[in-house]
Structure 1
Amino acid sequence: MNRDATTDSTLSIERRTIEVVPDDERHGTPRSQLTLWFGANMQITAIVDGALAVVFGADAIWAIVGLLIGNVLGGIVMALHSAQGPRLGLPQMISSRAQFGIYGAVVPLVLVILMYLGFAATGTVLGGQAIGHILGSDDVAVGIVVFGVLTAVVAVTGYRLIHAVGRVASVVGIVGFTYLAIRLFTDYDVASFVGVKPFDVATFLLAISLGAGWQLTYGPYVADYSRYLPRTTSGRATFWCTLAGSVIGSSWSMTFGALVAAVAGDAFLDDQVGFIGSLAESTLVALLIYLVIVVGKLTVNCLNAYGGFMSILTTVTAFNGKTRASSTARAAYIVGFIAVSVLVALGASADFLSNFKNFVLVLLMVFTPWSAINLTDYYLVSRERVDVPALYDPHGRYGGWNVTALVCYVIGVVAQIPFLAQTLYTGPVTEMLGGADVSWIVGLVVTAAIYYPWARRTSNPPTTMIYPDGHAPAEATA
């Protein structure tokens, strides 16, 4: 195989953007997805997500069970997106043009960009706090800037380095979180804080939703990290490795979070980074724990920055007709995205960040109908057959706007409103359910049920996979 030398080094800067990854640049095995997604989920925000299930009233035991169920259900959806990567060799949101049209795909993309910007900003604050503790600085701004620079370096370097950081995060996460769990059980009588509340349907469903919602947010960029796998890579292997890594990592973190919330409550939520560091038995160990937090947040923040840049580029190229971007433009997009997230983190008060994060959580409702349409079309309607060159041509097979997908998308979003349970809005059906948010289930089921029969009559998938000239071996199109 004559692989381009520029792709061989972990530290070489990635050249590919929204175009198909050529076969001679494909590399790796599905196991890389396991370590990446495990490392990306071994981080403090996942701990907070698990803690919220207890804060909202669930007993720790039932919260842990509900979070696990939610992670598995949401993880299945997320991993089905990941399995598209090796076959298509494309970023996730470019492939969604097959359902929404070249211009139509921009509709969910705008909200996706806002959401990743919000996650990047709040993640930068947490990472900055940890770096501040390491540097011994009371000024969190210093840590935020340093963390932003680290994110930019890794995200600009690209795919290989992001995977390498994910592997490091997996190892330090296992060691660090195991140590923290031991310290938690040493410092607190954890057993006396669990199993003390009766089972409650509403809070149990809420825990499931927290776990599922966490996984669903990865959908729009998960294939970005599997698209470099060889085209012959088993979709099933990619699915299971992605699912295992993401679910095990998130469930581990959220279980720890639920237990921490049960024994510490507001002491943890008021200062998540500080409380985690306080579990260490010495200053040196505390510094190492802060380093674990930084590595975990760096992994997922790079995913947010990389996915945000890819979404912006997908939006821009829909209108300028380009099929790729230069390395300079690629770096500029990434640095610009990270700079905005750092500015938001620096200029935001604690109240603003809390409100902005609530706004971001409301935007989760845009993911479920998008996922339902993308997966239903790819696996059931098009049956894994895509006309890749047409994804860049508004006058081609997929056109500029796909009315079927866009109407179903809007219906899927609207259908969730009565079932929402967010800080900014609580739907009437949610109140009847005692506060349980099941909007993501409604979004998936309603959208898929409407889209499938309609798309079967209106879509025009190719009879075989169609790749750009020079990109597919003969057997790949058979």
Structure 2
Amino acid sequence: MADSLVERRSIDVVPDEERHGTAFSQFTLWLGANLQITTVVTGALAVVFGGDVVWSLAGLLAGNLLGGTVMALHSAQGPRLGLPQMISSRAQFGVRGAIVPLALVIVMYIGFFASGTVLAGQAVGKLTHLGAVPGILLFALITGVTAIIGYRVIHALGRVASVICALAFIYLGIRLLNRIDLGAVLQQHSFALPMFLLAMSLSASWQLAFGPYVADYSRYLPRTTSSRATFWWTLAGTALGAQWSMTFGVLVAATAGSAFIGDEVGYVVGLGGTGLIASFLYFVIALGKLTINVLNTYGGFMSIVTSITGFRSQRAISTRVRTVYIAVIMVAGTAVALAGRNSFLDSFADFLLFLLAFFTPWSAINLVDYYLLSREGYELPALTDPDGRYGGWRWDALTVYVVALIAQFPFLATSFYTGPLVASLGGADISWIVGLVVPALLYGLLGSRRRRPRVRQGAGDGTPDIGAGAGGREESGNVAGSPDTSGAAIGAESTKTAP
């Protein structure tokens, strides 16, 4: 276990002696990350764009469960590999080819940092009486410092936020129910497939966007941590937190109308009260946003480092370089926040739905490769060697990724682009479903036919065994016997199964 509060690890493998914590930490982290104002706004969008209350709630729940399942499957990779999430993409796309999805991931992190900072800046500005712009700048600075400290403080922040934000949402929920006629609101249940799928897309995209960094926050768990426990605690935290916040957003949007749109933070705080209560709620909003914005900053840093080191064959970076990368993410995100703060709601909706088209194919390819083809094991030294097992560019995966992107666009519906098949579906956006199914099938077919190199099983020389697994399928880097702590290869013990 590391003695220093400031994290030393970046994209390098976390050794067994530095592993700590339990799978329950994933519940508190992801509960706290979802009990926040941007999640509320995401749920509200389902009603703002024309959905009714009941079917919006149903669509949001379906999307949270489906997207959360995909996200939690990524989380379960962390304890096994001891690596940040996007490093494992090199096994599918190549050491250098992984930069293709990574470039989009970095854009995503900057966008989420910016959108979160807009809302948090409002809260900080009100709390400090400095105004929105100084509030944005102050919040961004606190986010950057927290991300630099790293993993331990991020999980501590998640534990604190999960308790404080849960109590605040209980209080706000009671206040809201005392103000509205819930029976009348729930009578709004006229089913329309396009609106149901819109709600489902909003919540699914919210969950899938966590996929590229979720394993970053489970990679310090002991290697013996159950995959099932990691999966279920992650899914429970993220689905419960998101659905709770989004339900609140749906009810607020259905009853507040224009009073909520454009002044989301002010309305929610006003719902709770004035004076000290208002100050506390501004603090809660800032705390919730700090939790998720730190994740976005930390994940953006990991993605930049993964991209650059893929061309330098590096396995670690210094603390000073780490600080510079995080500062770059912070400055870029703050600039976007300041530039777009006056058109946040519409821009954020399109941002979420458009990102979904780029991340569902990556998730499908990564999960099929990890769980079905490689059977939860990779040869870790090869992940930093473009001349090694995974090569510099894996053109089969990159081709599948591009084909999946193209396949989605006829079904994509945003304000700036609508695919030609959307109208025939009544305006429903099903691009994300296509983005999951098409690459999973194509990559599974290509991967099962790819000749996987066999390494002679252990000859008593201490070399990790890489060979055929159960059922005659070959395992990429699986270790027979005790876990390997040298970083040569990591895999699943025979007694463990995927969630």
TM-score range, shorter chain: over 0.9
Aligned ranges 1:68-147 → 2 under 5 Å = 68-137=61-130, 139-147=131-139
- TM-score, with structure 1 as normaliser: 0.94
Match of 1:199 in 2: 191
Aligned ranges 1:273-352 → 2 under 5 Å = 273-348=265-340, 350-351=342-343
Q: Point out the structure with the larger helix share.
A: 1
1:432 paired with 2:424, answer yes
Letter in 1 for 2:486: G
Cα distance in structure 2, aligned partners of 1:473 and 1:401: 21
Please tell me whether the aligned partners of residues 58 and 203 of structure 1 are also in contact (alpha carbons under 8 angstroms): yes
Cα distance in structure 1, aligned partners of 2:428 and 2:161: 33
Please tell me whether the aligned partners of residues 124 and 301 of structure 1 are also in contact (alpha carbons under 8 angstroms): yes
Greater alpha carbon shift after TM alignment, 339-348 vs 396-405: 339-348
Please tell me whether the aligned partners of residues 73 and 212 of structure 1 are also in contact (alpha carbons under 8 angstroms): yes
Inter-CA distance 355–200: structure 2 relative to 1 (3 Å threshold):
closer
What is the deviation of 1:210? 1.2
Inter-CA distance 42–356: structure 2 relative to 1 (3 Å threshold):
closer
Cα distance in structure 1, aligned partners of 2:207 and 2:484: 32
Match of 1:9 in 2: none
Letter in 2 for 1:282: T
Unaligned runs of 5+ in 2: 454-465, 468-476, 495-499
- TM-score, with structure 2 as normaliser: 0.91
Letter in 1 for 2:305: L
What is the deviation of 1:327? 0.9
Inter-CA distance 469–277: structure 2 relative to 1 (3 Å threshold):
closer
2:236 to 244, 260, 263: 244
Match of 1:39 in 2: 32
1:451 paired with 2:467, answer no
Inter-CA distance 38–68: structure 2 relative to 1 (3 Å threshold):
same
What is the deviation of 1:148? 0.7
Letter in 2 for 1:236: R
Cα distance in structure 2, aligned partners of 1:477 and 1:363: 35
Cα distance in structure 1, aligned partners of 2:278 and 2:257: 21
Inter-CA distance 107–444: structure 2 relative to 1 (3 Å threshold):
same
Match of 1:54 in 2: 47
Match of 1:368 in 2: 360
Match of 2:397 in 1: 405
What is the deviation of 1:197? 4.2
Please tell me whether the aligned partners of residues 48 and 269 of structure 1 are also in contact (alpha carbons under 8 angstroms): no
Please tell me whether the aligned partners of residues 118 and 360 of structure 1 are also in contact (alpha carbons under 8 angstroms): no
The percent identity for this pair of structures is 56
What is the deviation of 1:191? 2.7
Cα distance in structure 2, aligned partners of 1:313 and 1:23: 23
What is the deviation of 1:125? 1.1
Greater alpha carbon shift after TM alignment, 243-252 vs 376-385: 376-385
Match of 2:167 in 1: 175
Match of 2:142 in 1: 150
Q: Secondary structure at the match of 2:260?
A: helix
What is the deviation of 1:356? 6.9
1:395 paired with 2:387, answer yes
1:5 paired with 2:3, answer yes
- CA deviations 1:318-376 (Å, max 9, x no partner) are 11221110011111111221122112222345137844763464132110000000000
What is the deviation of 1:459? 5.3
Cα distance in structure 2, aligned partners of 1:468 and 1:328: 30
What is the deviation of 1:430? 1.8
Match of 1:270 in 2: 262
Q: Secondary structure at the match of 2:311?
A: helix
Cα distance in structure 1, aligned partners of 2:259 and 2:25: 37
Cα distance in structure 2, aligned partners of 1:140 and 1:278: 17
Cα distance in structure 1, aligned partners of 2:489 and 2:106: 35
- CA deviations 1:77-100 (Å, max 9, x no partner) are 000000000000000000110000
Match of 2:461 in 1: none
Match of 1:19 in 2: 12
What is the deviation of 1:192? 2.0
Cα distance in structure 2, aligned partners of 1:5 and 1:133: 38
Greater alpha carbon shift after TM alignment, 21-30 vs 320-329: 320-329
- CA deviations 1:117-154 (Å, max 9, x no partner) are 011011111111001111123x3111011101110121
Match of 2:434 in 1: 442
Cα distance in structure 1, aligned partners of 2:209 and 2:157: 20
Aligned length: 470
- Alignment RMSD, CA only? 1.9
Match of 2:486 in 1: 470
Cα distance in structure 2, aligned partners of 1:476 and 1:192: 52
Cα distance in structure 2, aligned partners of 1:422 and 1:123: 21
Please tell me whether the aligned partners of residues 147 and 326 of structure 2 are also in contact (alpha carbons under 8 angstroms): yes
Q: Secondary structure at the match of 2:91?
A: helix
Inter-CA distance 369–24: structure 2 relative to 1 (3 Å threshold):
same
Cα distance in structure 1, aligned partners of 2:451 and 2:63: 32
Letter in 2 for 1:72: L
What is the deviation of 1:190? 3.3
Unaligned runs of 5+ in 1: 7-11
Inter-CA distance 302–424: structure 2 relative to 1 (3 Å threshold):
same
Cα distance in structure 2, aligned partners of 1:370 and 1:439: 14
Match of 2:474 in 1: none
Inter-CA distance 45–130: structure 2 relative to 1 (3 Å threshold):
same
- CA deviations 1:358-412 (Å, max 9, x no partner) are 3464132110000000000111111112101100000000000111100100011
Greater alpha carbon shift after TM alignment, 90-99 vs 188-197: 188-197
